Structure 1
Amino acid sequence: MRKSLMRMTLRQIQVFRSVCQQHSYSRAAEEMSLTQPAVSLQIRQLEELIGQPLFDYVGKKLYLTDAAEALRKASDDIFGRLESLDMQLTNLKGSLQGQLSLAVESSAKYFIPHLFAAFRRDFPEVSLQLVVVNHQQAIKRLSTNRDDLLIMSQVPTDMALEFLPFLNNPIIAVAPPDHALSKAKKLSLEDLTKWPLLIREQGSGTRKACEDYCNQKRAHFANTLEVGSMEGQRECVLAGLGIAMLPRHAVLRELACGALNELPVTELPLVRSWCVVHPRGKYLSPVAQAFFDFVRGQRSQISQLAEQFADQTRAHQPDN
């Protein structure tokens, strides 16, 4: 190893990571409670130790050089190990502490808080950092190792990943109760194609799963309306703008109170599994490993928890 690299300080790397995240010296200075010249000095010293520039400006935008990308990945490992050390030292005192950084696809965001609450009953001193993403964003976060773990369906086969399926994610067709299709006792996917279909944005896992399945079944929708979230889809269906194919977990309340009807489509529900995922070979922090082990060891209890979640959702609906 070059001796110059041994002279890098954790403070310099912290400043560097802030610049990477903020894509700005001035915003990094604000985040780190430093002056902008102090940030510039730390980066300049780091560049001298590395022997290569870390950032390029093109116009007014800051870009990471190849050397910066390499240093950023190494810094993820360094700070990940330090965080793990902190957790391990805490474990030696007899309790698991730390933060779980968890990214979840939007189809899972209704149930996962309940799953984490069950986990926290065993580990009450663990906190949660939760970010909700679509499928495309989840893949990008996996490739850059942004999170401890991800919850997603349709795990990509072209990446080296460890994944554990733990719960079904049924996708159903829904319509308002006054819709003509709601009066039918039996429908096919082809029957739905005569009506406008509300779909998610490009990059959504639910959209991709539904498109692939409909193509497989040769059910082609000529009239589609794109909406950027499940909440938006749901509201558009309630407003009478069309029908939608949505995860059942996302519309439990509306189904329970009668605001939406699940259409009796013979080819549905389309069932995919939620999986907990991380890059193969990734070193998991004690908190992340504990959560992964919890999911692996409690799959039958997780199914019961999902049923309780559905029952609680129905029970919280006001009587008509």
Structure 2
Amino acid sequence: MRKSLLRITFRQLQVFRAVCTHLSYSRAAEEMALTQPAVSLQIRQLDELIGQPLFDYVGKKLYLTATAEELLKASEDIFARLDSLDMQLADLQGSLQGQLSLAIESSAKYFTPHLFAAFRQQHPEVSLQLTVVNHAQAIKRLSVNRDDLLIMSQVPQDMALEFLPFLNNPIVAIARPDHPLAALASLSLQDLTGFPLIVREPGSGTRKACEEYCHEKRAHFAQRMELGSLESQREAVLAGLGLALLPRHAVSHELSSGRLCELPVQELPLYRSWCAVHLRGKRLSPVAQAFIAFIRNQRGLIEQLAQRFSAGPPVAG
């Protein structure tokens, strides 16, 4: 091993990870409670110790070099081992302690806090670091082993992954109650295609699932409006801009209050399972192991929690 690598400090790696996360020295400085020159100095020292530049500027945008990508993987491994050591020491003292680093696709963000709250009732000394991403970002985080676990649907088949399905994610068609289709007792996907469809940004797992399903059913929407989040989709439907295919969990309050309605489409709901996912062979921390065991063994409890977010038929586990 190069002697220069042994001079890398944990603080330098923490600063480096913050820059990688934000792709900005100034935002990394805010996160680390440092000045921007201090962040620049730490990265410059890392460059010298590594012997290669870690970041490139193209225009005004920061990009990771291939060297930075490798260092990021190594730093994630280092901090994961330290977290695991901390948890194992706590386990030896008779209690489960530590932090669960969890990344979730945005369609799961309404349910996951309630799932973790139920888990924390059994393990009150566990904390949560939650990151909300779209499907494309989830795959990237998996590839660099960024998190303890990911909650996602449509698990990629071309990666070596372990995954545990634990809850169906019903995707339904929603509209305003005064929409012309809302008065009909039965609809097909084809009936929806004459109206504008509000869709998510490219990279969204919900969008990908819906596009594949509509293509399979030969339902082609000529008018589409692209928005960047579930919330903006929901608000666009409330504003009368069109229809949307959304996870029922994401609009449960609007459905139960009558501000939105679920259209009776024969081919829907479209079910995609939420899964807890990690790289095959990954050494899970004690907290991550306990969380996996919880969702495997508490299916009944999870289904009960899911009912709070379902305005339609019961959600199967």
TM bin (shorter chain): 0.7 to 0.9
Map of 2:52 onto structure 1: 53
2:55·2:68 contact (CA, 8 Å) conserved in 1?
no
Q: Which residue of 1 aligns with 2:315?
A: none
3-state SS of 2:124 partner: coil
CA distance in 2, matches of 1:45, 1:210: 44
Structure 2 CA distance for partners of 1:67 and 1:263, relative to 1, 3 Å:
closer
Quote the Cα distance in structure 2 between the aligned partners of 1:196 and 1:189: 13
Q: Taking structure 1 as reference, are residues 283 and 262 closer, same or farther at Cα in structure 2, changes over 3 Å only?
A: same
Closer/same/farther in 2, CA of residues 201 and 10 from structure 1, 3 Å limit: closer
Aligned to 2:228: 228
Q: Deviations over 1:191-242 (max 9, x none)?
A: 1111111111111111111111111001111111112211111121122211
CA distance, structure 1, for counterparts of residue 256 and residue 155 of structure 2? 31
Structure 1 stretches of 4+ with a deviation exceeding 2 A read 1-48, 54-72, 308-311
Match of 1:195 in 2: 195
CA offsets, 1:21-69, max 9 Å, x none? 4556676667364784796378537734x4x224354466555443333
Q: CA deviation at 1:72?
A: 2.5
Name the larger-Rg structure: 1
Following the alignment from structure 2 to structure 1, what is the Cα–Cα distance between the partners of residues 125 and 55? Answer: 42
Secondary structure class of the residue paired with 1:103 = strand
Q: Which runs of 5+ in 1 are unaligned?
A: 312-320
Give the Cα–Cα distance (whole angstroms) in 1 for the partners of residues 223 and 22 of structure 2.
41
Could you say if the C-alpha distance between residues 18 and 173 of structure 1 is closer, same or farther in structure 2, counting changes exceeding 3 Å?
A: closer
Q: List aligned pairs for 1:89-100, cutoff 5 A.
A: 89-100=89-100
- In the alignment, residue 178 of structure 1 is paired with which amino acid? D
Q: Structure 1 residue 13: deviation in Å?
A: 3.7
Task: Give the equivalent residue in structure 2 for 1:283.
Answer: 283
Q: 1:62 to 1:258 in 2, by over 3 A?
A: closer
Structure 1 CA distance, aligned partners of 2:181 and 2:24?
Answer: 53
Conserved 8 A contact 1:175-1:238 = yes
Aligned mates of 2:239, 2:36 — CA distance in 1: 52
Provide TM-score, normalisation by structure 1: 0.87
Provide the aligned C-alpha RMSD in A.
2.5
What is the TM-score with the length of structure 2 in the denominator? 0.87
Matched-pair contact (CA < 8 Å) for 1:54–1:64: no
Using the TM superposition, give the Cα deviation of residue 118 of structure 1 relative to its aligned residue in structure 2, in angstroms.
Answer: 0.4
- Structure 2 partner of 1:314: none
Larger displacement relative to structure 2 (74-83 or 161-170) = 74-83
Equivalent residue for 1:40?
A: 41
Aligned to 2:135: 135
Distance 1:177 1:151 in 2: 32
Contact 1:173/1:265, CA 8 A, preserved across alignment: yes
Could you say what secondary structure the match of 2:164 adopts? strand
Aligned-pair identity in percent equals 67
In the alignment, is residue 171 of structure 1 matched against residue 171 of structure 2?
yes
Letter in 2 for 1:149: L
Bigger mean CA deviation after superposition, 4-13 or 229-238? 4-13
Contact 1:175 1:244 in 2 (8 A): yes
CA distance in 2, matches of 1:233, 1:62: 30
- Give the drift of 1:140: 1.5
Distance 1:228 1:11, change over 3 A: closer
Distance 1:234 1:46 in 2: 45
Q: Secondary structure at the match of 2:100?
A: strand
In the TM superposition, what is the alpha-carbon distance from 1:20 to its structure 2 partner? 4.2
AA matched with 1:90: A
Q: Using the alignment, how far apart are the partners of 1:228 and 1:264 within structure 2?
A: 26
Q: Is the CA contact (8 Å cut-off) linking 2:198 and 2:244 kept in structure 1? A: yes
Instruction: For 2:104 and 2:8, locate their aligned partners in 1 and report how far apart those are by CA, in whole Å.
Output: 35
Whether contact under 8 Å (2:98, 2:287) holds in the other structure is yes
Rounded to whole Å, the distance in 2 between the matches of 1:76 and 1:241 is: 43
User: What is the distance in 1 between the residues matched to 2:145 and 2:245?
Assistant: 31
User: What is the CA distance between 1:190 and its match in structure 2?
Assistant: 0.7
Partners of 2:25 and 2:252 in 1: CA distance: 46
- Contact 2:87–2:96 (CA under 8 A) maintained in structure 1: yes
Which residue in the other structure is 1:316 paired with? none
The CA distance in 1 between the partners of 2:169 and 2:39, in whole Å, is: 50
Please list the CA deviations of residues 169-206 of structure 1 after superposition, one character each: whole Å capped at 9, or x if unmatched: 11111111111111111111111111111111111111
